[in-house]
Chains A and B, each alone.
Chain A
Amino acid sequence: MTKSSARPFVLVSLLLLAAALLSIAVGSVLIPLSTLGELFRSALNGLPGGSAQVDPYLTILLRLRLPRTVLMILIGAALGGSGAAYQGLFRNPLADPYLIGVASGAGLGAVLAMSFRWPYSLLSLLAVPLAALLAALLTVWLVYLLGRVGRTLPTTNLILAGVAVSSFATALTSFLMINATGELRRAIVWLLGGSTLSGWQPVLAALPFITVGLGTLLFMGHALNVLQLGDEQAQQLGLPVQRVRRLVVVAASMATAAAVAFAGIIGFVGLMVPHIIRLVWGGDYRRLLPLSILGGSTFLLLADVVARVVMAPQELPVGVITAMAGAPFFLWLLRRARQQNYW
């Protein structure tokens, strides 16, 4: 906490920028970097379109690549940031954004929405993510009510209630999926972390939740540091423990719920990114939170690029890539750090 170097922030930001450029350029149609530069120049000069040669690229860029890239940045940020927050809140290295039922709640909401036949409209496009978002927030609220004891929220109760409610929601989801027909493939793709949406709508819909959620979390760094001493000592040091707990749970769940709703269930980002940051730059939450947000975006962008090209023209769900790349890398880091007092 004494070091306040800006170097990690510069480094991770540069990585994020590189990943974003890669994500914009790479896909089933490769946009050459020179064309990208020309597009940016003409955009800066206020000329829509530019030369005729550039025009088809512009459509791909504006309609497909750019929204996809921005969405991945948002989702990765939400997962990385809330992962760091949950690990701090529960003082548990295995805590992840889905721990208290966000994912299974969202899954139930999504499958419920898919089991209806919607007339084609904007609402039908957004029905599934919105239902997922609503169900995720409802689940967290239910877990919160069940885990509460008087006015306090003991960690063990919260986790136990989360596990119970999660299992129940997952069982309901399985039941619905067995009975459902037709839309099943879409549900499976979504559950594996594949976005079924494209364009700017999901970006705009997820933006407010993720901004408010992560914005709140950025103010919680010091409080999470104090919480590492345990609830009792934290309160004796003057921290309003219950208020901090509530704020962190609500903010992190809001960001995660939006991420799950608009991009499906993407594993390992929220668990792994904060650990990597912690291993490299230490566990001060005032640095860990913002760095995990930037790192989450970077990691998810790279995973998404791989998901797009590895079986092109078919796209893999990005969740498959994050888990396949993430798990071994994480284990390697863990082995290396076994001797250090890093957690």
Chain B
Amino acid sequence: MLSVRNLQAGYDERLVIKGVSFDLPEGCILALIGPNGSGKSTLIRCLSGVLPPVSGDILFKGKTILKASSAERARWMAVVPQARNLPPAFTGWEMVSLGRTPYLNWLGQLSEKDESLVQKALELTSTLDLAERRIGELSGGEQQRLLLARALAQAAPILLLDEPTTHLDLQHQLSMLERLRGLAHPVNGENGLPWRRLSALVVLHDLNLAARFADQVGLLVNGELRALGSPQDVLTEPLLSAVYQVPIEVMNLPGSGRPVILPRAH
């Protein structure tokens, strides 16, 4: 779906992403982990077109997207940002319907098809009851769900999520990522969206969430992809202990085969 080739990006003279390459296959959830300042958010900004790369290439289905307009790009990739500083006066419906922007003309009139997709996105994220409420009166978890709904209304095959669980409590962290898995691996082969299997690049700080929900894990350190592979291959004691500079113990979750990460005191 998405291929990144030797990508370099940064601010002014300082390179933050120093030659990153990876592939995001269809229906894959790739969790991007790494210490603070390793360039995870910068990579998302670069992929979504906000920050032009210094060199390298980004390919969608084998074709470069570096010359694409922002509307074209928004039809291929939808970003779920962190729920911060959202305009409080917007209603839930208004917020989610802005996901249709890449398909609308200057007047922004929604067609019936647009409205049914907005409706669908609200259903899929259990936010129908938030449609008439104002953003300013919603909790962080509700806002985050609306942002996921907005990205789904965008009807793009690729989702880029920037720390979608950071401001959520335990229950909402799990339900957000379970929802994401349902969109990438629909139970009966049907998720109700134009693209049957979404692909997702999701930045996560919680290593256990990455271990539990990701198909693949990429470990970004200092602007370089130090490791990329299955959770079992990447989330190992020596690698994590070296990168995060705390002693880390990795155990196996009985039954699932997925690792559990336990940091230990110094």
Q: Taking the complex as formed, is A180 at the interface, i.e. its CB lies under 8 A from any CB of chain B? A: no
Interchain CB contact (< 8 A) of A229 among B49, B98, B134: B98
Partner of B98, one of A2, A225, A232: A225
**Segment at the A interface, from B99-107, B164-172, B191-199, B248-256:** B99-107
Within the assembled complex, what's the spacing in Å between the Cα atoms of A286 and B108? 9
Smallest CB–CB gap between A91 and chain B, Å? Answer: 8
Chain B, interface residues (CB within 8 Å), range: 35 or more
Contacts of A238 in B (CB 8 A): 69-75, 101-102
For A235, the chain B residues whose CB sits under 8 A away are 48-50, 70
Give the chain A neighbours of B85 by CB distance below 8 A: 230
A2 and B70 within 8 A (CB): no
> Which of A24-32, A36-44, A201-209, A216-224 contacts the other chain?
A216-224
Q: How many A-B residue pairs have CB under 8 A?
A: 84
Min CB distance, A339 to chain B, in Å?
A: 11
A70 → B minimal CB distance (Å): 28
Instruction: Report the bound CA distance from A233 to B85 in whole Å.
Output: 11
CA distance A1 to B132 in the complex (A): 11
Q: Which residue of B lies closest to A227 (CB)?
A: B87
**A325 lies within 8 A of chain B by Cβ:** no
Q: Does chain B have a CB within 8 A of A127?
A: no
Contact at A222–B107, with CB atoms within 8 Å? yes
Task: For A2, give its contact among B50, B87, B93 (CB under 8 Å).
Answer: B93
Is the C-beta of B88 less than 8 angstroms from some C-beta in chain A? Answer: yes
Is there an interface contact between A236 and B79, defined as CB atoms closer than 8 Å? yes
Contact (Cβ within 8 A) B107 A232: no
Given contacts A225-B108, A228-B90, A341-B137, contact A237 B102 (CB under 8 A): yes
Instruction: Check if A283 is an interface residue, CB within 8 A of chain B.
Output: yes
Pairwise interchain contact A229-B86, C-beta atoms closer than 8 A: yes
| A237/B74 contact (C-beta < 8 A), A228-B87, A343-B89 known | yes
Contact B98 A237 (CB under 8 A): yes
In whole angstroms, how far apart are the Cα atoms of A2 and B85 in the complex?
22
Given the known inter-chain contacts A228-B87, A230-B85, A233-B79, please indicate yes or no for A341 contacting B134, CB distance below 8 A.
Answer: yes
Per-residue interface assignment for chain B, residues 99 to 122, with 1 indicating a CB less than 8 Å from any chain A CB and 0 otherwise: 101101011100000000000000
Interface size class on chain A is: 20 to 34
Tell me which residues across on chain A come within 8 A of B78, comparing CB atoms.
Answer: 236
CA distance A241 to B79 in the complex (A): 16
Q: How far is the CA of A225 from the CA of B70 in the complex (A)?
A: 17
Complex Cα spacing A1 to B45, Å: 28
Nearest chain B CB to A282 CB, angstrom units: 7
Q: Does A22 contact B (CB under 8 A)?
A: no
C-alpha gap A230/B86 in the complex (Å): 8
**Contacting pair A237 B99 (CB below 8 A):** yes
Residues from 301 to 343 in A contacting B, C-beta threshold 8 Å: 341-343
B97 CB within 8 Å of chain A: yes
Return the chain A residue nearest B136 by Cβ.
Answer: A341
Within 8 A of B (CB), among A255-298: 282-284, 286
Chain A proximity of B73: nearest CB distance (Å): 7
Task: Tell whether A153 is near chain B: CB-to-CB under 8 Å.
Answer: no
Verify A219–B107 contact, CB threshold 8 A. Answer: yes
Closest A residue to B101 by CB, please name it.
A237
A134 interface hit (Cβ, 8 Å): no
In Å, the complex CA distance between A263 and B72 comes to: 45
Bound complex: CA A182 to CA B98 (Å):
57
* A239 CA / B154 CA spacing, docked (Å): 13
Chain B residues near A236 (CB-CB < 8 A): 48-50, 70, 74, 78-79, 81
Q: Which of A210-254 contact B (CB under 8 A)?
A: 219-223, 225-226, 228-230, 232-233, 235-241
Q: Name the B residues within 8 Å of A341 (CB-CB).
A: 88-89, 134-137
Please state if A2 and B134 are interface contacts (CB–CB under 8 Å): no
Residues of A within 8 A of B102 (CB): 237-238
CB contact between B101 and one of A220, A226, A230 (< 8 Å): that residue: A226
B237 within 8 A of A: no
Point out the residues of chain A lying under 8 angstroms from B230, CB to CB.
none
> In the complex, A221→B73 CA distance in Å?
22
Interface string of A82-120 (1 = CB under 8 A from B): 000000000000000000000000000000000000000
Q: A237-B74, A238-B71, A284-B94 are in contact. List 6 more A-B contacts (CB 8 A).
A: A233-B81, A235-B48, A235-B50, A236-B48, A236-B49, A236-B78
- Complex A-B, nearest 3 residue pairs according to Cβ-Cβ distance, in ascending order: A222-B108, A238-B74, A238-B102
28 cross-chain CB contacts under 8 A: A1-B93, A1-B94, A2-B91, A219-B107, A222-B106, A225-B98, A229-B87, A229-B98, A232-B45, A232-B50, A235-B50, A235-B70, A236-B48, A236-B50, A236-B81, A237-B74, A238-B69, A238-B73, A238-B101, A238-B102, A239-B70, A239-B71, A240-B69, A283-B89, A284-B94, A341-B88, A342-B89, A343-B89
